[in-house]
Chains A and B, each alone.
Chain A
Amino acid sequence: MNPDSEHIEITITSRFENIELVQVIAEHICECAGLDDDGSHWVGMAVREGVANAIKHGNRLDTRKRVFTTFDVKDARLAIHIRDEGEGFDPANVADPLSPINIMKTSGRGIFYMKTFMDEVDFSFPDSRGTELVMRKNLAAHDDAATQD
């Protein structure tokens, strides 16, 4: 794989057992692009959460619906797009998991983890065709930070 520029796509059906497939690809791409093991793990974790949301909240476990994921690496910047075929949801409705009234809730931490481990996390709703999640990570910046530690 050319670490300078790469585009990879994977389409899965809405089954939880497929999440790990996308996660492993994410981690492999990060490792090939020079991210360390921990950094690659956390990007994989963010991808896991994004795909799980697409399956559960986007496609509502409908196995006829798919989740489309693309990975683009260019100039040490990683962009990940995850799109479902559901009705869309408003991420603004997701409560702050750090709020004292929410801290003991059993759900609602997935987007928080994505935002923690990635540089940018955005949601859009392209032409009412489900929800598209875009996550970005500056792989070079992570390397610099690791070196300074």
Chain B
Amino acid sequence: MKTTSRNVDGVEILALQGKITIGSGDVQLRDLISQCLNDGKNNILLDMSGVSTIDSSGIGELVGSFTTVTNRGGRLKLLHLPGKVSDLLQVTQLITVFEVHEDEAAAVASFK
């Protein structure tokens, strides 16, 4: 998994690209979120548009990241969710847990 990051109005936007699967990307995501929190970046928007594959381990890391950020007083939201990732969140009823946005500006504004 490759990531790029930028900060917009205090919101750290992490663009994830590639696979978030067992042994490839799942631990990377955990480390990435930990680094953000350690740097004081508690409002995190994950741009999922570049995610090609995700499995149950990747979904688990998303859930773990959400919990970690929330427990630190921050917020984690999702942007540009690919259809198949959305399907996996739907069937496990996790879609109700995450706040999902399709427009970046609206997503950033929602953190205020």
Category for how many chain A residues contact B: 20 to 34
With an 8 A cutoff between CB atoms, is A49 at the interface?
yes
A106-B21 in contact (CB<8A): no
Query: Is A107 part of the contact surface with B, judged by Cβ < 8 Å?
Result: yes
CB of A21 to closest CB in B, whole Å: 13
In the complex, the answer to whether A109 meets B59 with C-beta atoms within 8 Å is yes
Q: Smallest Cβ distance from A127 to chain B, in angstroms? A: 28
- Contact, CB under 8 Å: A106 / B61: yes
List residues of B (44-80) whose CB comes within 8 Å of A's CBs: 55-57, 59-61, 63-64, 66-67
Interface residue total, chain B, C-beta cutoff 8 A: 21
> Which residue from A16, A98, A103, A116 sits with its C-beta under 8 Å from B22?
A16
A residues 8-40 touching B (CB-CB < 8 Å)? 16-17, 19
**B38 touches A (CB below 8 Å):** no
Residue from A41, A48, A56 within 8 A of B21 (CB atoms): A48
Contact A113 B91 (CB under 8 A): yes
* Whole-angstrom CA separation of A113 from B67 in the bound complex: 22
Q: Are B60 and A105 in contact (CB under 8 A)?
A: yes
